[in-house]
């Protein structure tokens, strides 16, 4: 920490020195008269400062971002290599272990059965058979498999501890054991292992465990960390000095310092706008990559994912489940999303639209001065607040109301309460977009209609509305995309049960709810369960992207028409 702070300070000083030298030299080169120079003396200063500071700071930034993970990889890689004999021994023992091998075979068998159960289930879904039966069978198989997996894990742990116990209690022995433990750990445990080791090595917070192995890992981390830290600082300083020396030689009266400096500025600006593209690329590739891994883990049964009727990613009930082979039919999620979106749009479209029409065609300036900010406040309320409102006020109220009407099974978390509240959230969105669109309809059209003797509402309904229709459709599509992607309200108010129902009083689940459920709480990386969240994310992204593109196109066309 201190050394990097020192390096940063040194670099800052060097950069300032570079600036001063550049200016001084420029003045000297112009023999004291600025007019002989191509650019103002300050530009020569900036030029030198850029050469002195920029490459070095980029290097330091890279080190800051990736230094720690590089050190971890190298240090633990070293330990893992030293653990090679232990690993070999462990694998050999497992291969010789009949009990373990029998369990492995059994697992394979069960997986084959689960596969055929899944096939049957999907067929039954398509052909109208008893899919539930296969779902239950699948659940039983998965539980069985997980039980065996747990047994295998126990066996593996036994073998591992006997192997580890054979390592000598010397320093190389402990190092090998540390590497072995790290090698065996699943990825989330690896993270913890590293975090603990770093905590011990560099006083970064408190370690959750303090074992011999972790201490060994901490000791292994230190030299690498020192090496990187010092070399990063050293290389940065060297770069800086070299840049200074090089740029200094280039300063002449005729040197176009301003063009160079502005070139760098232009480049930097261009890079900032490239970030927008990088973000999109990042989204597309990360979602695609993880989705591909998900589809691979369910044997490329993409059609099952898209058209399957059963969603139950965590079918097994055991706590120590290792990986699951749940049912990943996302249709209930799509249906839930559609149901809630529909309810939300049924609320938001008429209210938002009528509010926009009233505000732009009828309202007095006084009313506008009150109503517009009110709508803006409604738009600025965070969605988590809407979720709270839906959960604690609207949900219970609707439940009471439904029970009063004689519907006994009413629940607090229902599609209706989430949809209603989401509709309220979208009202200002619809109204402000349609307000823009309605205001873009030329006044001459209205005048034409009034001059024919039409009343205001006739003008609005027969002239303004048809003229604004494309824009309004665009606005509504954007609102739909908003509703589809909305998360917190549904997470809090719609429930989690993957019910395939059209009854708004039941609880349903949506794409976004499932993404949150799958990725919060304890998660294992690389399990189909976790990866399926990314596949859902991909579906969500593609859906909203299509909606957005169509909507933006339509609105664009509309605007061009009345430009």
Partner 1 sequence: MTLDFPIDNPPTRYHPLTTQLPIKVATEDVSVRYGGKLALEDVTLEIPDRAVTACIGPSGCGKSTFLRCVNRMNDTIDTARVSGSIRIDSEEVNGRDVDPVVLRARVGMVFQKPNPFPKSIYENVAYGPRIHGLAETKAELDHIVETSLIKAGLWAEVADRLHHPGTSLSGGQQQRLVIARAIAVNPEVILMDEPCSALDPIATARIEELIDEMRENYSLIIVTHSMAQAARVSQMTAFFHLGKLVEYGPTEEIFTNPLDQRTQDYITGRFG
Partner 2 sequence: MNNAPTIRDAVQARLAKRHRAEMRFQFYGLAAISAAVLFLAVLLGSIIIQSIPAFTAHRLVLDVEIRPEIADPRGDGSEASLRRGSYNTLIQNSLRDQFPEAGSVGELRELFGLYSAVNAARLLNEVVNNPEVLGETLPFSLPISDDADLYLKGLTTDEEFLPGAAPLTLEPGMDDALTLRSQTGAPVFDVFLDLVQARQDAALDQARIRAERTAARAAEELDTDTRNSLEAEAQRARDLVQALQEARSDTGPVRLNSQTASLMLRAQGGVLRINALARDGLSAEGTWLVGPDTASQTAQDWSLWVIETPSIARRITDRQIVWARTLKERGLIKNGLNTTLFTNADSREPELAGVAGALAGSILTMVITMLLAVPIGVGAAIYLEEFAPKNRLTDFIEVNINNLAAVPSIVFGLLGLAVFINLFGFPRSAPLVGGMVLALMTLPTVIISARAALKAVPPSIREAALGVGASRTQAVFHHVLPLAMPGILTGSIIGLAQALGETAPLLMIGMVAFIADPPTLGLSGFTEPATVMPVQIYIWSSSAERAFEARTAAAILALLTLLVSFNAVAIYLRRRFERRW
Residues within window 259-278 making contact with partner 2, judged by CB under 8 A: 262, 265-266, 268-270, 272-273, 275-277
Residues that bind partner 2 (rule: CB under 8 A) add up to a total of 97
User: What letter would DSSP give residue 327?
Assistant: E
The DSSP string of 235-262 is HHHHHHHHHHHHHHHT--TT--HHHHHH
Binding map of partner 2 across residues 71-100, x = CB under 8 A, - = no contact: -x----------------------------
> Residue from 20, 61, 245, 385 that binds partner 2 (CB under 8 A)?
385
Cβ of residue 337: shortest distance to partner 2, in angstroms?
Answer: 11
Residue 205: which of partner 1, partner 2, none does it interact with, CB under 5 to 8 A by kind? partner 2
Cβ pair 330, 305 in contact under 8 A:
yes
Partner whose footprint covers residue 552, from partner 1, partner 2, none (CB < 5 to 8 Å by kind): partner 2
Nearer to partner 2, 228 or 388 (CB): 388
Given the rule CB under 8 A, which of 192-200, 210-218, 284-292, 447-455 is the region that contacts partner 1?
A: 447-455
> Is the torsion defined by CA of 505, 509, 512, 513 positive or negative?
positive
Strand partners, 327: 312
Token pair recorded at residue 121: 């289930």
Q: Which of residues 374-393 bind partner 1 (CB under 8 A)?
A: none
Residues 200, 207 contacting (CB under 8 angstroms)? yes
As a whole number of angstroms, the distance between CA 468 and CA 436 comes to 10
Site for partner 2 in 442-481 (CB under 8 A): 453, 455-458, 460-461, 478, 481
For partner 1, the closer of residues 449 and 532 by Cβ is 449
Cβ contact 539:337 at 8 Å: no
Out of 354, 403, 452, 502, name the contact with partner 2 by CB under 8 A: 354
Q: Which of 482, 527, 532, 554 binds partner 2 (CB under 8 A)?
A: 482
Euclidean distance between CA atoms 121 and 133, whole angstroms: 8
Cβ closer to partner 1: 307 or 450?
A: 450
Could you tell me the smallest distance in angstroms from the CB atom of residue 470 to partner 1?
9
Location of structure tokens 């949900």:
395
| Smallest distance from partner 1 to CB 365, Å | 8
Q: Which of residues 384-443 bind partner 1 (CB under 8 A)?
A: 442
Site string for partner 1, 466-505 (x = CB under 8 A): xx--------------------------------------
Which one of residues 13, 448, 523, 556 is an interface residue with partner 1 (CB under 8 A)? 448
Residue 442 near which of partner 2, partner 1, none (CB within 5-8 Å, type-dependent): partner 1
Question: How many beta carbons lie within 10 A of that of residue 165, not counting itself?
Answer: 9
Nearest to 31 by CA among 259, 257, 258, 252: 252
Three-state SS for 329?
Answer: coil
x/- map, 285-324, partner 2, by CB under 8 A: -xx-xx----------------------------------
As a whole number of angstroms, the distance between CA 515 and CA 536 comes to 7
Q: Which does 448 bind (CB under 5 to 8 A by kind): partner 2, partner 1, none?
A: partner 1
DSSP code per residue over 429-496? HHHHHHHHHHHHS-HHHHHHHHHTT--HHHHIIIIIHHHHHHHHHHHHHHHHHHHHH--HHHHHHT-S
Query: What distances in angstroms separate CA 436 from CA 109, 432, 471, 481, 511, one per listed residue?
Result: 63, 6, 9, 19, 31
CA–chain centroid gap for 176, Å, is: 37
The backbone torsions φ and ψ at residue 290, rounded to the nearest 5 degrees and listed phi first, read -70, -35
Q: Is residue 179 a contact partner of residue 82, using CB atoms and an 8 Å limit?
A: yes
Q: By CB under 8 A, tell whether 7 contacts partner 2.
A: no
Which residues in 414-443 contact partner 2 (CB under 8 A)? 424, 427-428, 431
Partner touching 431 among partner 2, partner 1, none, CB below 5 to 8 Å by kind: partner 2
- Residues binding partner 1 (CB under 8 A): 442, 444-455, 458, 462-463, 466-467
């Amino acid at each position: 920490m201190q050394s990097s702070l020192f390096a940063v300070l040194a670099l800052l000083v060097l950069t300032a020195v570079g600036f001063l030298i550049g200016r001084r030299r420029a003045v000297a080169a112009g023999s004291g008269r600025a007019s002989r120079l191509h650019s103002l003396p300050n530009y020569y200063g900036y030029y030198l400062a850029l050469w002195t500071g920029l490459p070095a700071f980029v290097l330091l930034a890279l080190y800051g971002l990736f230094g720690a993970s590089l050190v971890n990889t190298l240090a633990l890689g070293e330990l893992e290599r030293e653990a090679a004999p232990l690993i070999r021994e462990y694998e050999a023992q497992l291969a010789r272990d009949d009990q373990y091998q029998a369990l492995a075979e059994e697992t394979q068998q069960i997986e084959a059965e689960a596969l055929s159960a899944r096939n049957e289930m999907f067929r039954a879904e398509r052909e109208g058979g008893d899919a539930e039966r296969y779902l239950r069978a699948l659940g039983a198989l998965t539980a069985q498999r997980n039980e065996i997996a747990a047994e295998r894990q126990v066996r593996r742990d036994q073998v591992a501890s006997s192997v580890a116990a054979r390592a000598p209690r010397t320093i190389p022995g402990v190092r090998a054991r540390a590497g072995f433990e790290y090698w065996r750990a699943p990825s989330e445990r690896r993270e913890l292992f590293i975090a603990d080791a770093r905590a011990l090595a560099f006083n970064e917070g408190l370690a959750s465990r303090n074992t011999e192995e972790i201490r060994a890992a901490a000791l292994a981390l230190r030299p690498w960390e020192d090496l990187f830290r010092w070399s990063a600082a050293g290389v940065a300083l060297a770069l800086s000095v070299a840049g200074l020396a090089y740029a200094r030689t280039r300063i002449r009266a005729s040197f176009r310092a301003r063009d160079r400096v502005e070139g760098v500025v232009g480049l930097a600006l261009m890079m900032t706008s490239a970030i927008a593209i990088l973000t999109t690329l990042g989204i597309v590739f990360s979602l695609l990559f993880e989705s591909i891994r998900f589809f691979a883990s369910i044997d490329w049964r993409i059609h099952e994912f898209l058209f399957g009727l059963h969603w139950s990613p965590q079918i097994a009930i055991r706590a120590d489940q290792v990986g699951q082979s749940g049912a990943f039919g996302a249709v209930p999620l799509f249906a839930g999303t559609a149901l809630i979106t529909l309810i939300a749009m049924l609320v938001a479209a008429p209210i938002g639209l009528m509010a926009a029409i009233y505000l732009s065609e009828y309202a007095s300036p006084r009313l506008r001065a009150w109503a517009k900010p009110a709508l803006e406040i409604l738009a600025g309320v965070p969605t988590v607040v809407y979720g709270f409102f839906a959960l604690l006020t609207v949900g219970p109220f609707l439940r009471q109301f439904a029970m009063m009407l004689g519907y006994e099974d009413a629940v607090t978390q229902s599609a209706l309460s989430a949809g209603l509240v989401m509709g309220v959230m979208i009202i200002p969105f619809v109204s402000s977009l349609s307000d823009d669109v309605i205001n873009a309809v030329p006044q001459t059209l209205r005048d034409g209609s009034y001059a024919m003797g039409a009343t205001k509402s006739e003008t609005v309904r027969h002239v303004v509305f048809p003229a604004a229709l494309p824009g309004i459709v665009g606005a509504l599509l954007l609102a739909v995309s908003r509703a589809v992607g909305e998360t917190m309200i549904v997470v809090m108010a719609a429930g989690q049960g993957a019910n395939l129902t059209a009854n708004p009083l039941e609880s349903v689940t949506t794409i976004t709810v499932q993404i949150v459920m799958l990725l919060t709480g304890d998660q294992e990386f690389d399990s189909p369960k976790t990866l399926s969240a990314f596949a859902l994310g991909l579906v969500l992204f593609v859906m909203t992207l299509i909606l957005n593109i169509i909507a933006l196109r339509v609105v664009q066309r509309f605007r061009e028409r009345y430009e």
